[in-house]
Amino acid sequence: EFWQGRPDRLHDRIRYRWDYSDWVKERLSP
């Protein structure tokens, strides 16, 4: 679920981080 057209809101719900040569998707609290 992405906020299309709202790059300033991109990390409000889902954050990607690089972890051990793979991307980890973390769902953040509202």
Count the domains in the chain: 1
Which pLDDT belongs to residue 19? 78
What's the confidence (pLDDT) of residue 20? 82
CA angle centred on 23, ends 3 and 12, rounded to 5°: 30
Q: Please choose, from the candidates 13, 3, 8, the residue with its C-alpha nearest in 3D space to the C-alpha of residue 25.
A: 13
Percent of the chain surpassing pLDDT 90: 0
Instruction: Find the mean pLDDT for residues 6-30.
Output: 69
Residue pointed to by tokens 């991307």: 23
Q: Which domain holds residue 21?
A: 1-30
**Average pLDDT rounded to a whole number, residues 11-27:** 73
pLDDT at 21 over 80: yes
Summary mean pLDDT of the chain: 66
pLDDT given at position 25: 75
